[in-house]
Structure 1
Amino acid sequence: MTEKQKHATAYWKENLRYLVILLAIWFVVSYGAGILFKDALNSIKIGGFQLGFWFAQQGSIYVFVILIFVYVRLMNKLDKKYGYDE
């Protein structure tokens, strides 16, 4: 394996690690907060709505959008680290 291939392999391993972590966060927020922990969260109200309902309807979408921006920032740093930035 050449040095360039090792470089690319390390880049993709780190990229996949970021993806797994961010998708796990999204899963916990959307599935956990919206379904599993719904009963515990429903004791808290936001704008007249129970927090479990809010996470199921709005919160997971907001978290997903935030995670997109986090991913962009992480990938920009990763690109610079491995010399793939423009």
Structure 2
Amino acid sequence: MSPKDVERYEGHFRANLGLAVKLLLVWALVSLGAGAALVWLDQFRILTGFPLGYYMGAQGAQVTFVILIFVYAFRMRTIDQKYGVDE
């Protein structure tokens, strides 16, 4: 492997790792943040009278996780193309 290839793959790895860390921080904030703010969120009622804290814990976190999957896939396609390692 040439030094140029090594540099390109290392750049790809750094970009991938940076994206993964950012998305994991969002994941931790959503999953732990909703629980930490539960008392404050329970003041608000939505739809059929459920407390907002319950809704965020039961639905909002899972929806956020699915969105993070699509964000990761889209950004990784862009990163792969930038570093020339796409299929």
Task: Report the TM-score, using the length of structure 2 for normalisation.
Answer: 0.90
Deviations 1:16-75 (A, max 9, x none): 110111111111111111x11111111122222111111211111100000000000000
Q: Give 1:65's aligned residue.
A: 66
Unaligned runs of 5+ in 1: none
Q: Give 2:43's aligned residue.
A: 43
Q: Give 1:85's aligned residue.
A: 86
Unaligned runs of 5+ in 2: none
Alignment: residue pair count: 85
Q: Give 1:15's aligned residue.
A: 16
Equivalent-residue separation in structure 1 for 2:66 and 2:59 (angstroms): 11
Taking CA–CA contacts closer than 8 Å with sequence separation of 6 or more, which of the two structures ends up with the larger relative contact order? 2
The percentage of aligned residue pairs carrying the same residue is: 39
Q: Give 1:75's aligned residue.
A: 76
Task: Report the TM-score, using the length of structure 1 for normalisation.
Answer: 0.91
